Amino acid sequence: MRHTEAATHGRRAVIDLRERILSGELQGGTRLFEVPLAELLDISRTPVREALSRLAEEGLLDRLPSGGFMVRRFGFSDVVDSIEVRGVMEGMAARVAAERGAAPHRLKEIKETVARLDASFGERPEDVDFDAYADLNEIFHRQMAGLTESDVIRREVERASALPFASPSAFLPDRSDIATFRRSLRTAQEQHRGIVRAIEMREGSRAEALAREHARTARNNLEYILNEDPSLLEKVKALALIQG
């Protein structure tokens, strides 16, 4: 029982700290130590220690020679590479699902998610529920990997998506008044439909190409923020971790 409780605390600490880092709450260059974090999370030092080691393995933290950890800062190329890796893995997943043939009940589920994503868009072009879209987008990508019926591929897609800033909803702002992002979401939704259609029609090459192009949405949003409208940096806090 005690071992199970410690494992639960460890998982919770990893999730909590990862979210604090990727949300920008713990900014690049911040030093992290076991005791203050244990007090912050209201758990013992052991699961905190394990969580910090896990996040260092994920590449979100650097170990300090003097002890403790520091939240990493990332270069633009690091982020682009993470997005590209996810695109490659999701492209392979889409191709495999198409070539092997997806189970009807899984196709039904992902089509229902696409329909719910459609509902996050209003009648007017400027109406988008960002929060609903982000949540459903994560579900869509999990379901797409699940279409392969391969635990190996699903795990590797999850691993790639856990890379810093490689999440399918990376760089989505928490405001709904940004026209450029609304346009990118509508394009991404068209890609969702195209991917599912290609998988259903067992068009492997097309499914792979669409999935890889779809992953570039995050990169396009990042490039727009950094190159065209730096004022959006304040609306996407995680960008505080990225160096030019």
pTM of the full predicted structure?
A: 0.75
What integer pLDDT is reported at residue 59 of this predicted model? 80
For residues 49-88, b (16+ Cβ closer than 10 Å) or e, as one string? bbbbebbeebebbeeeeeebbebbebeeebbbebbbbbbb
Same-domain pairing of 169 and 117: yes
Same-domain pairing of 107 and 196: yes
Q: Classify strands 74-75 and 242-243 as parallel, antiparallel or unpaired.
A: parallel
Same-domain pairing of 191 and 82: yes
Last residue of a domain, one of 72, 99, 131: 72
Same-domain pairing of 121 and 54: no
pLDDT tens, position by position, 8-17: 777 888 888 8
Looking at the structure of the chain, the number of domains it has is 2
The distance between the two most distant Cα atoms of the chain, rounded to a whole number of Å, is 57
What integer pLDDT is reported at residue 151 of this predicted model? 96
C-alpha 238/C-alpha 23 separation (Å) is 5
What integer pLDDT is reported at residue 7 of this predicted model? 64
pLDDT tens, position by position, 154-208: 999 988 887 777 878 766 655 545 666 677 888 899 999 999 999 999 999 999 9
Same-domain pairing of 53 and 88: no
Residues of the chain with pLDDT under 70: 1-7, 125-126, 170-181, 230-241, 243-244
C-alpha 33/C-alpha 10 separation (Å) is 15
